[in-house]
Amino acid sequence: MHFVADLHQRLHAIADDRGGNDVILQFNGRLTNLHRLWDGDIIDRAYPGQRMLQDQVLAKLQTVNSRAWQGGLPQDWAE
């Protein structure tokens, strides 16, 4: 999940890359930075328990062709 989040984290694409670590903001009543928000805080808010997220991911994987998920290169996954 972190890999996919980083692919979509546009701040990684700029020359002076700190990935949003220097952008301080408030989320859910506490201070955080944009990188932490993107990498974990939003996910933690949507899925309060690791088990809940794991169950949803496994259910989704079981409904698709697992061979399709195993192929390709990281560039393909990003696209």
Pure H helices in the chain: 2-7, 34-36, 42-46, 50-63, 66-70, 74-78
**For position 16, what pLDDT does the model report?**
65
pTM of the model: 0.58
Domain holding 39, by residue range, is 2-78
**For position 2, what pLDDT does the model report?**
63
What total number of domains does the chain contain? 1
37 closest CA partner among 21, 52, 49, 51: 21
**For position 39, what pLDDT does the model report?**
81
The DSSP 8-state label assigned to residue 10 in this structure reads: G
**For position 30, what pLDDT does the model report?**
95
pLDDT in tens, 9-59: 667 666 666 778 888 999 999 999 988 898 889 888 888 888 888 888 888
